[in-house]
């Protein structure tokens, strides 16, 4: 605290009175200011603060009472205590007048020095205390001001960080929702609205239950109980939400419970990450893996079956050729061959599904391909079903085995017919579509590029989820025994996959079905005309070395070749083939090699034989496609290949073609 020089004001019109007072109070350590009139006193009091005024009553112009009243009237001076000192105005009425004018004391001369001094000291003491008080008040005020400033600053910071939090809430890439204990959505952020297709504000009117898929409603009840009981602090789960348009949005949801000051539950804070794309990918992957596994199984069986059927059909044909037209057994044989051919059709279907079927891809224009197959489609669906086509305006060039694409359309048309027993409409259209990354990540399938799309829609019975999930499985059918084989869609699937394409189904029971097929586009191309095959193959008298490990097939193939006039040497494996070739080199014109054989496989034997005689003709026989064989590393260059099951005329034709080349 500051130490003050305390000043008092002495007022008297007589100089000698002032000097006397000064002498009386001289040793109190006060600063004494003197005024010779009321006016001067007022002026000084306005300029400087005094602890006390000692004032004469009788003065010319303005007496003490008047001066005191004026001092009391001015807020700047009203607090200064005034003591009147008088020699003349001693009666009581004067004294009262003095007190009325605001004096704190009224002293009569002659003054008792001790009393005057102690009175002055008291007032000076009071003054010092008042000053100290004022000072404290001032410093308190400063403190309050400082605190207020700090508070304001803190509030501003809070606002700023509140803004930051709001931004974090509003702009977060994940959906955030504050959910009331009864499930009502209290606050939701933009990501949440976007993911579910609602405008801001719309969601707040809903409850969590309104945007949760029906089957997942009860999923988190147990977890919520644990949370409320305080046994856990958060929980996470994957569940389905409903988009405004009714579609499903998969979300990974993390839930925490916000509690109040006394620990009471207030609301849930739910953070939801949209994982629809990942879920779709998983689903597609599962489907692809399933198809791959079934394909391998089916392909394996079909492959062995094919060998057996080759033998049956081959010998059947041979016997048929040799039989007289009126042979009583001819009817039986015809039945055997017909049944074997049906079985061959089935295995062909399985091979198609498992993508092990021979494929002759060449550039074709999809629209004209579809137009050319429409005649057959019309015949399949009959007259009760209306056919509507709408083809893309431009050319849609794809690389395809046109026979197989025909097959796809025929299978789809057959199913559509079966689904529209009371008639309806079959619509076939084509279009062009680009697949980009966003499409691929959204639907979980595809490779970037341009695609020709074929849509095949019917207004038939449609399918439920159960059927849709199995529709491409071989032998899956809902049709009565003898009516369906369950191979139609698996063949379609195999063919489209083998063409590096995709097929998707959309179907609702009672509404109808749409198949959407994507086939990769190639650059516009010159169309190749179909080459017509000669009707009857020619034979010859050349020598052929035949290598095949399966005895039945070896004998059958030998029979066919001899039948066409050729000389045949047979080997049981790759090594024997090489040995026989070495011993008879010069006399062998063509080598027929099975691809898979013990000791040496077809390509190993081929390499050694070509080393002995580079110009010799080689023809491979295989149950697998050339693509697959290449993929397995069995062959490194273009080869001549004939697929099992072998049809005798085709074998003869191919052998002749090679020998004549
Ligand atoms: P199949 O026709 O021999 O039964 P598919 O593989 O062709 O075998 O078809 C399998 C099943 O898929 C059918 O039995 C049928 O239940 C269903 N299906 C296929 N296409 C359609 C369609 N367009 N409408 C309704 N159901 C269909
Ligand atoms: Mg079918």
CATH number at residue 91: 3.40.50.2300
Count of domains forming the chain = 4
Reduced to 3 states, what is the DSSP secondary structure of residue 89? coil
Query: Does some domain include residue 339?
Result: no
Same domain for 607 and 483 = no
pTM value is 0.49
Q: Which of 459, 471, 493 to mutate to test the pocket of ligand 1 (most atoms within 8 A of CB)?
A: 471
The alpha carbon of 355 and the centre of ligand 1 are apart by a number of angstroms equal to 20
Query: Does some domain include residue 53?
Result: yes
Q: What is the pLDDT of residue 163?
A: 86
Which of ligand 1's atoms lies nearest the C-alpha of 416? 23
Same domain for 548 and 523 = no
For the Cβ of 470 lying below 6 angstroms from any atom of ligand 1, the answer is no
Closest ligand by atom to 477 CA = 1
Q: Which residues contact 372 (CB under 8 A, 6 or more apart)?
A: 406
Which of ligand 1's atoms lies nearest the C-alpha of 472? 6
**DSSP annotation string for 51-65:** SEEEEES--SSS-HH
Query: Does some domain include residue 348?
Result: no
Which of ligand 1's atoms lies nearest the C-alpha of 488? 7
For the Cβ of 478 lying below 6 angstroms from any atom of ligand 1, the answer is yes
Same domain for 236 and 189 = yes
How many other CB atoms are there within 10 angstroms of residue 121's CB atom? 16
Percent of the chain scoring above 90 in pLDDT: 41
Closest ligand by atom to 463 CA = 1
Question: What DSSP state is assigned to residue 344?
Answer: H
Q: Average pLDDT, stretch 174-197?
A: 92
For the Cβ of 95 lying below 6 angstroms from any atom of ligand 1, the answer is no
For the Cβ of 461 lying below 6 angstroms from any atom of ligand 1, the answer is yes
CA distance 118 to 173: 82
Name the token pair of 499.
Answer: 């063409």
Name the token pair of 399.
Answer: 């690389």
For the Cβ of 346 lying below 6 angstroms from any atom of ligand 1, the answer is no
Q: Which pLDDT tens digit goes with each residue over 22-54?
A: 999 988 889 999 999 999 999 999 999 999 999
Query: Does some domain include residue 314?
Result: no
Q: What is the pLDDT of residue 533?
A: 39
Q: Average pLDDT, stretch 611-619?
A: 86
Q: Which of 477, 507, 516 to mutate to test the pocket of ligand 1 (most atoms within 8 A of CB)?
A: 477
Q: Average pLDDT, stretch 379-407?
A: 90
Strands 362-365 and 385-390: unpaired
Q: What is the pLDDT of residue 633?
A: 59
Q: Say which range, 230-244, 431-445, 471-485, 598-612, has the weakest mean pLDDT.
A: 431-445
Taking 50 as the threshold, does the pLDDT of residue 186 lie above it?
yes
Q: Provide the pLDDT confidence category of residue 179 given band limits of 50, 70 and 90.
A: very high
Q: Average pLDDT, stretch 573-588?
A: 89
Q: Which pLDDT tens digit goes with each residue over 547-572?
A: 998 887 888 888 888 888 899 999 99
Same domain for 518 and 587 = no
**DSSP annotation string for 429-471:** EEEEEEE-HHHHHHHS---SEEEEEEEEEE-S----HHHHHHT
Q: Please, are residues 485 and 475 in contact by the beta-carbon 8 Å criterion?
A: yes
Q: What is the pLDDT of residue 552?
A: 78
Same domain for 583 and 490 = no
Report the CATH number that the domain containing residue 472 is assigned in CATH. Answer: 3.30.565.10
Q: What is the pLDDT of residue 168?
A: 83
Q: Please, are residues 273 and 289 in contact by the beta-carbon 8 Å criterion?
A: no
Q: Which of 421, 483, 489 to mutate to test the pocket of ligand 1 (most atoms within 8 A of CB)?
A: 489
Q: Which of 407, 415, 421, 474 to mutate to test the pocket of ligand 1 (most atoms within 8 A of CB)?
A: 415
Q: What is the pLDDT of residue 529?
A: 40
Q: What is the pLDDT of residue 634?
A: 57
Same domain for 565 and 500 = no
For the Cβ of 484 lying below 6 angstroms from any atom of ligand 1, the answer is yes
Identify the domain boundary among 509, 531, 553.
531
* CA angle at 79 for the pair 75 and 83, rounded to the nearest 5°: 130
The alpha carbon of 296 and the centre of ligand 1 are apart by a number of angstroms equal to 22
Query: Does some domain include residue 488?
Result: yes
For the Cβ of 512 lying below 6 angstroms from any atom of ligand 1, the answer is no
Percent of the chain scoring above 70 in pLDDT: 94
More confident residue, 179 or 375: 179
Q: What is the pLDDT of residue 487?
A: 85
Taking 50 as the threshold, does the pLDDT of residue 531 lie above it?
no
Q: Which residue has the tokens 């990450």?
A: 273
User: Quick one: which H or E segment has residue 552?
Assistant: helix 551-563
Q: Which residues contact 113 (CB under 8 A, 6 or more apart)?
A: 24
Q: Closest residue (by CA) to atom 21 of ligand 1?
A: 415
* CA end-to-end span of the chain: 124
Taking 50 as the threshold, does the pLDDT of residue 527 lie above it?
no
Query: Does some domain include residue 630?
Result: yes
Q: Provide the pLDDT confidence category of residue 661 given band limits of 50, 70 and 90.
A: confident
Q: What is the pLDDT of residue 645?
A: 63
Q: Which of 294, 345, 377, 418 to mutate to test the pocket of ligand 1 (most atoms within 8 A of CB)?
A: 418
Taking 70 as the threshold, does the pLDDT of residue 64 lie above it?
yes
Q: Closest residue (by CA) to atom 25 of ligand 1?
A: 462
Q: Closest residue (by CA) to atom 8 of ligand 1?
A: 486
Q: Provide the pLDDT confidence category of residue 4 given band limits of 50, 70 and 90.
A: low
Q: Which pLDDT tens digit goes with each residue over 87-141?
A: 888 888 999 999 998 899 999 988 888 889 999 999 999 999 988 888 888 899 8
Taking 60 as the threshold, does the pLDDT of residue 528 lie above it?
no
For the Cβ of 463 lying below 6 angstroms from any atom of ligand 1, the answer is yes
Closest ligand by atom to 414 CA = 2
More confident residue, 77 or 295: 77
Same domain for 619 and 517 = no
Q: Closest residue (by CA) to atom 4 of ligand 1?
A: 477
Query: Does some domain include residue 321?
Result: no
Q: Which pLDDT tens digit goes with each residue over 640-660?
A: 777 766 667 778 888 988 888
Same domain for 491 and 581 = no
More confident residue, 244 or 220: 244
Q: What is the pLDDT of residue 631?
A: 57
Q: Closest residue (by CA) to atom 16 of ligand 1?
A: 478
CA distance 212 to 192: 13
Identify the domain boundary among 214, 242, 274.
274
Judge residue 366's burial from the number of C-beta atoms within 10 Å of its C-beta, 0-12 exposed, 13-18 middle, 19 or more buried.
buried
Q: What is the pLDDT of residue 597?
A: 82
Reduced to 3 states, what is the DSSP secondary structure of residue 348? helix
Report the CATH number that the domain containing residue 264 is assigned in CATH. Answer: 3.30.450.20
Taking 80 as the threshold, does the pLDDT of residue 593 lie above it?
yes
CA 94 vs. chain centroid, Å, equals: 100
Identify the domain boundary among 274, 298, 332.
274
Closest ligand by atom to 494 CA = 1
Q: Closest residue (by CA) to atom 12 of ligand 1?
A: 471
Residue range(s) defining the domain that contains residue 265: 161-274
Same domain for 381 and 459 = yes
CA distance 17 to 459: 129
**Which sign does the torsion angle of CA 321, 323, 325, 331 carry?**
negative
Taking 70 as the threshold, does the pLDDT of residue 404 lie above it?
yes
DSSP-based helix, strand, coil % in the chain, nearest 5: 45, 20, 30
Same domain for 126 and 175 = no
Closest ligand by atom to 514 CA = 1
Query: Does some domain include residue 338?
Result: no
For the Cβ of 471 lying below 6 angstroms from any atom of ligand 1, the answer is yes
Q: What is the pLDDT of residue 532?
A: 35
**DSSP annotation string for 249-271:** EEEEEEEEEEE-TTS-EEEEEEE
Name the token pair of 124.
Answer: 């000076």
Same domain for 522 and 386 = yes
Taking 80 as the threshold, does the pLDDT of residue 3 lie above it?
no
Q: Closest residue (by CA) to atom 18 of ligand 1?
A: 415
Same domain for 226 and 125 = no
Q: What is the pLDDT of residue 658?
A: 87
């Amino acid at each position: 605290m500051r130490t003050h020089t305390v000043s008092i004001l002495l007022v008297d019109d007589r100089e000698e009175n002032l000097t006397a007072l000064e002498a009386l109070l001289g040793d109190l350590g006060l600063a004494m200011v003197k005024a010779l009139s009321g006016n001067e006193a007022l002026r000084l009091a306005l300029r400087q603060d005094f602890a006390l005024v000692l004032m004469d009553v009788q003065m010319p112009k303005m007496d003490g009472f008047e001066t005191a009243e004026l001092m009391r009237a001015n807020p700047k001076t009203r607090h200064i205590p005034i003591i009147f000192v008088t020699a003349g105005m001693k009666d009581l009425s004067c004294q009262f007048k003095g007190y009325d004018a605001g004096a704190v004391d009224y002293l009569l001369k002659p003054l008792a020095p001790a009393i005057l001094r102690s009175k002055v000291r008291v007032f000076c003491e009071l003054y010092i205390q008042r000053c100290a008080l004022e000072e404290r008040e001032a410093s308190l005020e400063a403190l309050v001001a400082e605190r207020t400033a700090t508070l304001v600053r803190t509030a501003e910071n809070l606002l700023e960080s509140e803004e930051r939090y709001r931004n974090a809430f509003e702009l977060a890439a994940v959906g955030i929702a504050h959910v009331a204990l009864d499930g009502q959505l209290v606050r939701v952020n933009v990501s949440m609205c976007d993911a579910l297709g609602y405008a801001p504000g719309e969601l707040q009117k809903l409850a969590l239950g309104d945007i949760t898929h029906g089957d997942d409603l009860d999923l988190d009840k147990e977890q919520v109980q644990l949370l409320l009981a305080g046994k856990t602090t958060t929980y996470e789960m994957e569940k389905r939400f409903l988009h405004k348009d009714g579609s499903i949005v998969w979300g990974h949801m993390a839930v925490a419970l916000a509690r109040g000051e006394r620990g009471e539950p207030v609301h849930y804070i739910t953070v939801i990450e949209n994982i629809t794309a990942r879920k779709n990918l998983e689903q597609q992957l599962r489907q692809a893996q399933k198809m791959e596994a079934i394909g391998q199984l089916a392909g394996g069986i079909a492959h062995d079956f094919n060998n057996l059927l080759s033998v049956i059909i081959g010998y059947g044909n041979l016997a048929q050729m040799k039989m007289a037209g009126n042979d009583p057994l001819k009817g039986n044989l015809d039945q055997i061959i017909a049944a074997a051919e049906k079985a061959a059709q089935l295995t062909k279907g399985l091979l198609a599904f498992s993508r092990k079927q021979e494929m002759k891809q060449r550039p074709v224009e999809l629209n004209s391909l579809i137009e050319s197959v429409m005649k057959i489609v019309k015949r399949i669906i009959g007259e009760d079903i209306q056919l509507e086509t709408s083809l893309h305006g431009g050319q849609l060039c794809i690389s395809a085995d046109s026979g197989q694409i025909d097959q796809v359309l025929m299978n789809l048309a057959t199913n559509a017919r079966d689904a529209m027993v009371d008639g309806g409409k079959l619509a076939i259209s084509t279009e062009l579509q680009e697949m980009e990354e966003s499409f691929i990540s959204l639907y979980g399938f595809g490779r970037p590029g341009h695609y020709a799309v074929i849509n095949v829609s019917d207004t038939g019975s449609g399918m439920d989820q159960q059927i849709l999930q199995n529709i491409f499985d071989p032998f899956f059918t809902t049709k009565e025994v003898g009516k369906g084989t369950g191979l139609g869609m698996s063949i379609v699937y195999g063919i489209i996959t083998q063409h590096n394409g995709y097929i998707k189904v959309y179907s609702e029971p009672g509404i109808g079905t749409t198949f959407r097929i994507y086939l990769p586009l190639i650059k516009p191309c010159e169309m190749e005309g179909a080459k017509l095959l000669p009707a009857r193959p020619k034979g010859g008298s050349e020598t052929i070395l035949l290598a095949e490990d399966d005895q039945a097939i070896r004998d059958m193939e030998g029979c066919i070749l001899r039948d066409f006039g050729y000389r045949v040497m047979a080997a049981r494996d790759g090594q024997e083939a090489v040995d026989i070739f070495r011993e008879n080199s010069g006399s062998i014109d063509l080598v027929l090699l099975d691809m898979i054989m013990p000791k040496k496989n077809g390509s190993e034997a081929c390499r050694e034989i070509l080393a002995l005689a580079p110009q010799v003709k080689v023809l491979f026989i295989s149950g697998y496609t050339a693509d697959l064989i290449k993929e397995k590393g069995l062959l490194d260059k273009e080869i001549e290949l004939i697929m099992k099951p072998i049809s005798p005329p085709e074998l003869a034709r191919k052998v002749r073609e090679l020998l004549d080349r």
